[in-house]
Amino acid sequence: MLIAEVYVEVPVQQINKPFDYLIPVKWQDVVCPGMRVSVPFGPRKLLGFVTKIKTHSELKQLKEIESVLDLDPVLNEELLQLGKWMAAETVCLTIAAYQAMLPAALKGKYQKTVIVAPGKQIQDCSADVQALFGDKTRLNYEEVLASEAVKEIQTEISNGHLELVRHVGSKGSVRTEKVLRILKSHAELETILQETKKGATKQRELLEFLCAGPTEISFNALKAEIAATLNTVKILADRGIVELVEVEQYRDPFSAKSFNQSKHMQLTPLQARVFKQIETAALAERNETFLLYGVTGSGKTEVYLQSIDVVRQEGKQAIMLVPEISLTPQMVTRFKGRFGDDVAVLHSGLSKGEKYDEWRRIHRGEVSVVVGARSAIFAPFKQIGIIIIDEEHEGTYKQEDTPRYHTRNVAIKRAEHHRCPVVMGSATPSLESFARAKKSVYTLLTLGERINQRALPTVSVVDMREELRNGNRSMFSTELAVKIEERLVRKEQIVLLLNRRGYSSFVMCRDCGIVVECPNCDVSLTYHSAGQNLKCHYCGFESTVPTTCPSCQSDHIRFFGTGTQKVEEEMSKRFPNARVVRMDVDTTRKKGAHEKLLQQVESGQADILLGTQMIAKGLDFPNITLVGVLSADTSLHIADFRASEKTFQLLTQVSGRAGRHELEGEVVIQTYTPEHYSIELAALQNYDLFYEREMTVRRQTAFSPYYFMTLMTVSHVDRMTAMDAIHSVAQRVKATLGETSFLFGPTPSPIAKVNNRYRFQCLIKYRQEPNLLTVLSEINEDFGLNSAKTGVFLSIDMNPNMMM
């Protein structure tokens, strides 16, 4: 008897151990680790992941696996282990880690069929399987599972002849196209053409085309070439000359565009030195972590591209991670241009079905490069040759929901397994990574110059208090206004950054100053211009925009946008002839909008690109010669120990957009606190000084990278219950902490109520607490087991990015 260990997704109880289930005899040699199964659990049927097959169980009365959801494991052995590791490191359930590794489409309900794999033919399969298919193009999964041939089908799936396809939603269903396969040789076709009646003009036309044509062509492509009809094709099919087959078509979200092929550039000596080190590590299969510290425009991306090519030549795969917002069309174009169809792209703009398709291409081994945001780190590659994390300092690499993993740590873990290098690149590395590079935990690689020794842009800082004293109340300083005029005259382009963190719009009463808040949460509602309504991003509450103030009944109640709209208005007065493209959450909400707006800048239809944080990254336009920062300080005044670091990074990044090519660049930073070191040093573009300065602050205030942090948050609908719970958590943790660690709190969370649940938190700061993970996971388990009864939720965040 074979027994499967299964991690089960129990909705209310958080149990973090596998359960044993009997494998029914008919599936004895079918079920294997990494597959999902449906199992009975109490009165319910639940989804579970098989992690192990064994012959013994401690338990006597075992239930049987009810159904098998995959014939091809969705997780391989490496990812199964990685999930367990992640669960331990981030204190979450193993099953939650597994779910996070799969595309969202696989979590929902969908139909399954077995089809002939793209590029394969049914003739590739065994005779039994061929017989099972008969003249069908696909088999119903349930029938396959019940049939005698299930093992054989599975074998054909694992050797790539067949594929198990999940039909994801209506948009997610598999698309097929009609393809003509020519069954005769060119010589035979010539003869057939001779023998075809002169009057059959359509047949003759098609035959003539085929005589000189390919052996396979899609019907659509054929129609583009000659005026063939389906009828004519069918006549030839009846004559046994061609066959017409349905072939699956991947939804390629980028197929509408063609990508210009790009070749490797001749590396500069600096680039070559850096590249050599990465190449050596990759070829030696050395698990080495590099920090590539290179100023903006120093050619980091070219180094990435060539490093990836090294491992491709070795038959291995590459993961290229970029922050979501810098996953711009420009970035995608650079990768598609170099590696063509060998690239899968994963980002949040894709539909579930599109993401699933990209995942399948990776799963089936059809691509060797994936470019994607955070979750692409789980790409199911079998032989990873390199992992690259661009803009490694970005906060989005940390996932804020369970499992709260940091992509960097997962990357390093996977690289250990695959014995391959990790390259983390940035012009403004996170303090954590730079500190590790200084201690030689990571290997530091430096690109200190821009390509062709192009100068970094000159930066001037304008004191806006001074402007105000001189009677300038506008949001443009005299200097910035003059420089904008100059550029407009010279037909050069300008980037204007409005520095707003959290950049959502809210509705406020101008008379009493009240902001419309969510009734369930302690946060303001976000205005959505598309539906002209208000939404809560924490609980989903929606309402219409009030016409009068709920507090003072004034009708001066307005929505306050990111501010970009206001700037745009002022600009149209100051610079009436300037063509402005505005990019913020409101103008980019629609799919493809981001891309369209950038296209306008690229093609020169716009003079000024005005936007929030999202314009600071990745853009590489030759004609941009001026960058203006309208308000440098706004990101300094938020309650976040990384506020200075984030401000410095933002200013440096956005400055880097100017003068990247032939034309020289200039930057104007407007601020009310010109003396603040993050602004001063960003103006000097001196990361090293900033690093020293900020490290001193972190040491004095006992923050990361000097200390690790863990945030524990408890929530409950009743305030007192939540308070009691956080006190008990605090007590248990305190009892185990060493002398050099601190516990802060308990205190109410900065957002004290979400979805009508009161929230309290405490924070641990520590340098070394070898037992902490064990203690936390015990506490987590106790809470999880009782959460159905008590209604108390506990969340644990190791090294949190946000303290909300």
**Rule CB under 5 A: which residues touch Zn ion?**
509, 511-512, 518, 520-521, 536, 538-539, 541, 549, 551-552, 554
DSSP 254-316: TTTS-----PPPPPPHHHHHHHHHHHHHHHTT---EEEEEE-TTSSHHHHHHHHHHHHHHTT-
- Say if residue 61 is exposed, middle or buried (CB neighbours under 10 Å; 0-12, 13-18, 19+): exposed
Judged by CB under 6 A, the residue of 15, 104, 235, 451 near ligand ADP is: 451
Residue 288 vs 449, nearer CB to ligand ADP: 449
> Side chain identity at 580, as an amino acid letter?
V
Both tokens assigned to 564: 């970009």
Cβ atoms 100, 410 nearer than 8 A:
no
Is 265 one of the binding residues for ligand ADP (CB under 6 A)?
Answer: yes
Nearest to 223 by CA among 206, 203, 199, 200: 206
Cα dihedral sign for 371, 376, 379, 383?
positive
Is 260 one of the binding residues for ligand ADP (CB under 6 A)?
Answer: no
Is 380 one of the binding residues for ligand ADP (CB under 6 A)?
Answer: no
| Stretch touching ligand ADP by CB under 6 A, among 223-231, 296-304, 409-417, 469-477 | 296-304
Query: Whole-number minimum distance, CB 451 to ligand ADP, in Å?
Result: 4
Cβ atoms 377, 408 nearer than 8 A:
no
Is 272 one of the binding residues for ligand ADP (CB under 6 A)?
Answer: no
Query: Whole-number minimum distance, CB 570 to ligand ADP, in Å?
Result: 31
Binding residues for ligand ADP restricted to 631-670, rule: CB under 6 A: 660
Q: What angle do CA 773, 95, 730 make, to 5 degrees?
A: 30
Enter the DSSP assignment of 107. G
Cβ atoms 286, 419 nearer than 8 A:
yes
Cβ atoms 160, 364 nearer than 8 A:
yes
Query: Whole-number minimum distance, CB 318 to Zn ion, in Å?
Result: 41
Residue 557 vs 683, nearer CB to Zn ion: 557
Q: What angle do helix axes 77-90 and 94-101 make, rounded to 10 degrees?
A: 130
Query: Whole-number minimum distance, CB 300 to ligand ADP, in Å?
Result: 3
Residue 794's beta-bridge partner residues?
714
Residue 48's beta-bridge partner residues?
8, 37
| Stretch touching ligand ADP by CB under 6 A, among 146-154, 182-190, 300-308, 697-705 | 300-308
Cβ atoms 458, 666 nearer than 8 A:
yes
Query: Whole-number minimum distance, CB 513 to Zn ion, in Å?
Result: 7
DSSP 365-406: T--SEEEESGGGGG---SSEEEEEEESTT-GGGB-SSSS--B
Nearest to 796 by CA among 401, 395, 378, 410: 401
Binding residues for ligand ADP restricted to 177-196, rule: CB under 6 A: none
Residue 200 vs 265, nearer CB to ligand ADP: 265
Judged by CB under 6 A, the residue of 268, 407, 671, 749 near ligand ADP is: 268
298 binding partner (options ligand ADP, Zn ion, none; Cβ < 5 to 8 Å by kind): ligand ADP
Give the integer Cα–Cα distance in Å for 792 and 783.
7
Residue 549 vs 726, nearer CB to Zn ion: 549
* 643 three-state secondary structure: helix
Is 329 one of the binding residues for ligand ADP (CB under 6 A)?
Answer: no
Residue 267 vs 723, nearer CB to ligand ADP: 267
Residue 427 vs 475, nearer CB to ligand ADP: 427
Query: Whole-number minimum distance, CB 295 to ligand ADP, in Å?
Result: 7
| Stretch touching ligand ADP by CB under 6 A, among 15-23, 262-270, 555-563, 568-576 | 262-270
Judged by CB under 6 A, the residue of 22, 235, 267, 702 near ligand ADP is: 267
Is 271 one of the binding residues for ligand ADP (CB under 6 A)?
Answer: yes
Query: Whole-number minimum distance, CB 773 to ligand ADP, in Å?
Result: 37
Query: Whole-number minimum distance, CB 756 to Zn ion, in Å?
Result: 8
Binding residues for ligand ADP restricted to 604-633, rule: CB under 6 A: 620
Binding residues for ligand ADP restricted to 220-239, rule: CB under 6 A: none
Query: Whole-number minimum distance, CB 533 to Zn ion, in Å?
Result: 14
Residues that bind ligand ADP (CB under 6 A): 265-268, 271, 294, 296-302, 451, 620, 660
